[in-house]
Structure 1
Amino acid sequence: MLTRSPRPPRPDDRRGFEIAIICALPLEADAIELLFDHHWDGDGLPFKKAACDPNAYSTGVIGCYNVVLVRMLGIGKVHAAVAASNCKASFPNVKIAFVVGVCGVVPFKRNGEEILLGDVVISEGIVQYDFGRRLPGRFVSKDGLLDSLGRPNQDIRGVLAQVKGIKGRQRLISEMTRYLNILRKKPELHAEYPGPAYDKLFEASYRHSEEQKSCEQVGCDDKLVTRRRLQVTELIPAPAVHFGLIASGDSVMKSGEDRDREFEARDVVAFEMEGAGVWDILPCIIIKGACDYADSHKSKGWQQYAAATAAACTKAFLNYWVSSFDQDVNFESSLSLQSQDSPYQNETAHAVDKRQMEPVFVVPFSKNSLFVGRHDILERLQGLLFEEGRQKIALIGLGGIGKTQVALQLAYWVKMNKQDYSVFWVPALSHASFEHACMEIIYACSIPTADSDNAIKAVRQYLSSKRAGKWFLVVDNADDAQTVMGSMGAESGIYRSLPQSDKGRILFTTRYRKVAVSVAGRNILDVPAMSQGEARSYLKEALIREISLDDPVANHLLTILTHLPLAITQAAAYINENQISLTRYVQLFENTDRDRIELLSAEFQDDTRYEQSKNPVATTWFISFNQIRKADELASRILMFLACVEPKAVPQSMLPKGESQQQLTRSIGILCGYRFLVTVEEKTLAENHPSRLASEQELAIAYQVNGHIAKAVELLEHVVKVQETTLAENHPSRLASQHALAGAYEANGQITEAVELLEHVVAVEATTLVENHPSRLASQHVLARAYQVNGHIEKAVELLEHVVKVQETTLAENHPSRLASQHELARAYQANGQITEAVNLLEHVVAIRETMLAVNHPDRLASQHELARTYQANGRITEAVNLVGNVVAIRKTTLAEDHPDRLASQHELAGVYEANGQITEAVELLEHVVTIRKTTLAKNHPSLLASQHALAMAYEANGQIEIAKITHHDSHHSTRLQEHMKQTGRSQKQ
């Protein structure tokens, strides 16, 4: 966020507003006004309006924009057109109008997607469905070129394209949910969710019998249509966002049959009464909450909640709007950088000098509304920096412990309480990110500089001068010693580019004690873990669903997350997005290592972290672990060793030996510096805190989840080797490591090794664990999967039928382990020629996973992928193309290009293309898959060989016989194949 004050400055006059929000009903306008971040009304003289303008206006701030709220005098197109025209006269620089409120909706979109009450619809276009000629017995709409309202302008279409993307929609819904939670807590708004029992959809032909009475009064309790989204959760369903055409007219749609006819004829998603009146006067977007199904059973019970969801969505949507005024500000800044030959030099210089005296605020994040606690460390920072006058302080702590959030809270505290200080923020992620932040400071302060190459130097010189006044600078994520301090004798380190001034204060955040000591000397503060009370309060704030502070499940969840703020944020985001209970999340977390790592690897939206940085908890440990591996090989080996033993006090004499005692001391110091260890006298203590998440076995599983199979095998072989010499044959940790290694072997194409190891694990567990023990069933599951790959299909079917039978008597229908086993059994059925059984079982798995998992969840995509394969085997090619095509599209946006799952779905899509006669598309896709797999897999890896074989068959089907022969022998002719593919000029990009 780049601002010169806590909010955009108050406009000088009515020309300073470019965003209007138009509402027809008081309850709609009230919801918007309660989301204002600041009200200009009452803060200074009121803004006047044009002569004869009867509109009622409220002015204020939403996010970083000055907005004017228009309260219409009545409902309908005419009132809307009058309100928009008068608004345009009074506020001539309005560039976009948002028509916000409530509407009626169609219950099902063309693709079968449900729209529930409380969901939000956003216009992609508008249709005047009641504009036309009423002829005897029929109505003929006028939809000629001159009669239609046309499509939105390019700016609006561009914003809609961004918001409709997967990432954009996820962020929009996340922000909307946050703002909705604020409104629901406003008692005066009465915006609580009415409850799923009141979300009733009647068959279109079932009419409400008495106009003036409610459904309860006349007994409308028949002919209900099933709503799947309402059945899958006992919690409040998170409102969804839908895009499409909106029907606008002067009459209220109160007929289910007419609603469906308009839907079939025009593919509209909603009905409202104001949009058409605004559309021709101001560029506009309609954002409305669903309060009824546009049928005769209409009631007002949902209006307050629907108005709140629409208002929350509008505030979230504004994050995507790019203000033309921002461009004007940058243009004005550029004037100050004109050459001294400019005839306006003196005036510009005077303006620059004046602006340089004003404190500025340049921070890339908005204030964290969920921040709780941390009073002690904030008070210590405030005292050290602003009372004792320490010029440099370093915050040190684990990745995810909340260093950045503490620094962000302090930055906003300085803004509000030290208003003579400018506040700046620079990330030390890389030299490039540091330079970009310096450019932001240059723009904010109008610092003269010739080009971006001098940005760092210019900022240093300016902040070191008296002209800059007092300032506070945060240097965030100073984790990499080479990036921060530079190489020996080099001038490339960020630290050497920082300003020096008696009036300046610098706060560093880092994971690495060596960096902290280098930049701040003894002025170091450790960021502790959250207390139990702080963690409970934070979880309560982050969750949509209300929880009690003494909820035992919540306390247990916080314990297994070790009170780590980033882990709590991630867990809350997962729970909110997937609408699951705390108990369900705990079950997933404690189910298997893979489940836990997948949860910790899940991406989530967080506007208080960098877009280019990775949010997941697991990723923070990858970063620290990889930095240790690069910095010190012995430290890496010590960490691997400690991952294989209990996290108790371990004598230094047991640790892997270095070349000297000094080397061992240095390596232990590095691990302590990264907070993986603490030392107690002569012993080294591996702390039982979040760094245990980075243990070697779990890190290996995380590598495998993220597609780095060879690294996973290497790490797990080390774990198993150590445990086989230190633990009994039936020790759970030893068996778990062998199980994990077998899974990695399978993923790496080492099927024989996987089968041998799993048969051993299954045999041992059969003598020590009961039949329905989760670990025993999990090992049998993985062994059956390995049998399939090894060609022992009947063994796989027999073993999986046993696993599924046991789980069907012990686990709920939607339990992840039960679904995973059914998924695997379906694969085995298909391999065994039992296609009908495979289709039935997979359709069951897909149906359940689609109701409980996010659209990009790996398990949901995997079952859809497998169902597409089965459809192909069953001759249902069109269904297969659609299903696997969707999987490929989603994985392309969420997985790396060389991720095994992404490549597997592309391979499968190519096969379906070929079966569908789309040979050219199949060849192009398989060429891409083969090219990538040849760079990541061994020559004899089954997946590579399968893709080469499929490519050869596709070449043959395409009439390319010669190259097909080459491909059949590709392990010996890779150079010839690559040369041919270059000559054909086929694109490898999919």
Structure 2
Amino acid sequence: MFQNKTDLVPTYPGTIHDRLFEATYGHVKDGKSCEECGCTGQLLPRKRLQGDSPKPAIHFGLIASADTVMKSGKHRDVTARQEGVLAFEMEAAGVWDIFPCVVIKGACDYADSHKTKVWQRYAAATAAACMRAFLDNWIPSQTESGLDQKQSTGPWFYVPYPENESFIGRESILQKLQQQSMKPASKIALSGLGGIGKTQIALAHVYWLHKTSPDVSIFWVHAHNAEKFRQSFMSIAQECQIPGSFDPKADILLLLKRWLERKESGRWLMVIDNADDTHLFFGMPKESVSRDGLKDEGSLGKYIPDCAHGSIIITTRNKETASRLVKGKRPIEVEKMDQEESKQLLQEKLEDDGLDPEDLSTLSSRLEHLPLALIQAAAFIHEKSISASRYLQLLNESDQNFVDLLSNEFETVGRDSEAPRAVAETWILSFKQIRRQNMFASELLSLMSLFNRQGIPHEFLSDYAKKKQELELRGEIQLVVALGVLKAFSFIAEDKSGSFDMHRLVQLVTQKWLTRENKVCLFANQAVLTVSHIYPYGSYDNWVICSNYLPHVYAVLNIAATESDEENLGRAALLHNVGGYFLYKGEYEEAEACLIKAIEIRKTDLGADHPSTLTSMANLASTYRNQGRWEEAEKLDVQVMETSKTKLGADHPNTLTSMTNLASTFWNQGRWEEAEKLFVQVMETSKTKIGADHPYTLTSMANLASTYGNQGRWEEAEKLFVHVMETRKTKLGADHPDSLNSMANLAVTWKQLGRYHDALHLMQQSDEGYNRVLGPDHPHRINYQS
């Protein structure tokens, strides 16, 4: 064309005609060029040399198209910022609403009021050259033109995974899906712990449906994050060749939703996989966005199609998300496999007929019958060419080994390429989601992982919440909500008593997460302080609580903490109270070990003469006394008594207790006169200070009565024992260990006085009570029987 009409040959106008004014400077007069009307506004500086030769540049992005010319610098800049466009034009307006296309344009002005036609011919030529280069290198994906293509009418099968030929079991859940999924407008949620097999169940169902109902379209949507969700919708829309699906400006989510809701689209089933994040589908609370500065990527839930000819299956770790997406319907909870299913899965994956059935059963149990963990174990056994028994040995060597094996990556059918490929990482992903959704829930999970995993008392969590409340104004409602999040993710389960259990593998992985985040010591301190604050002293009235909480004591005391002053004193108080429990239960070696540690900490942090230190020393002396180690007991008793007299005074309750303990040591050594002197002093002071019926006064009376008995003064002993027994029965109850002790002492006294029938009857009552309350092997019962 240029050869025949040389006057049309474009020439480069040069930089002299390339002038860009400030956006706010308008053209002086319409209808004339800037030179003619004298535009003198400030030109924007350009990053180029005045004499440079032309160097064309190609820009990719959005172009704004309309049927009106853009002639305002201010409007141009505002629109560009708001819409993210890089150019304006009007010839292609509406074309891409009819068919997918690429617009290639050459820049000829700056879309302001200083428009000039100097550059138009050159711009057209550069656009044509660019188009020619594009066509020379473009390889069409289809031979037919877009205008001639016929829209596919389905049915469609868009599932990114092959069928899992080794899928095992889950018959009852599959039957529920088969019964419910094709009901009009059905919405079903599969919820459960990460790695429990939800995706595999959904995958097995869609392939069953594809074979039995080939007229039903099936679509699979990844919902791990907003980008995956949008990409899935776009891929489905383009697979189905929905008009407008190739338009970069189209709202692809709304486009697909409306298209699927049309009856002409036919019957369909959509699986929304890994829909774990509630905020993704329903948005974040406004206070979280403003307070924490978090990005709100919701609400995608409004784009999920809803119509009579379509069904939805949702897989999620989060029951809260499940409940909201299916509009309050109860989700199908996917539990761990049973023993037989677990063994079948291992046999299928290991492909070895010679496997020891006992090894398979043990391995299944150790991995909590969790499908993903079982597959991971089989992959490791295959890759490392080891036996199942050797894998078990590795698991059993240490918790660290256990976690390391759970962290080993592997490949399996039906997992998103971006999903973690190890059980540990799968759950750590859930931990991160919980932390984003509810930070307090994340803290509770961290704390709970350091207790014994079974029977975690609500009181522990409430105590932690109250301490947080003092700092951050959290209330009981925050605790309820946070625990709800953890239950929704199946990380904890609540029993009928209100206590909580944690999955064994979840506990180990949570501890690994804390190690990775360098937060083990932080939460170990909180765990020790929480148990220390709640665990009572081990007297008779507290035995049930002490026994129930004891596994948590062992758990927190075995974790290394930062050894801050607060944590040290909390640890010492806990050791002291547990030592008291063992002392009352007659488990003297355990009591001694706890009390020695408590004394060491208290001496270091509080001093040797602090009342708390002296109390622990007194209890340690009691353990020595009960083991017949009289010299060690006496040494401690004297030290405690003398220090108490000096620091607290001769009539202080702690001083009187130390005098009683020393008197008991004298008594056990047969030093009756020394024991009697101290017992009388303690009894008289107690009567004056706290009353004759006070439990402490009664104890001193009983001690004095025993001293009289050992001196053969049985009438004096009987008088005191009768008063003590009757008062204790009234005050404490007949089955209290102190009441039973009084009955046994009086029975011995009556025997010495020749009242054999009364003595035998009372001793039988005492023995039956000891057996019922303390158990047949308690040292007190054995002593009286002998």
Instruction: State the TM-score, normalized to the length of structure 1.
Output: 0.37
Structure ranking higher on relative contact order (CA contacts 8 Å, 6+ apart): 1
Compare CA radii of gyration and give the structure with the larger one.
Answer: 2
Instruction: State the TM-score, normalized to the length of structure 2.
Output: 0.46
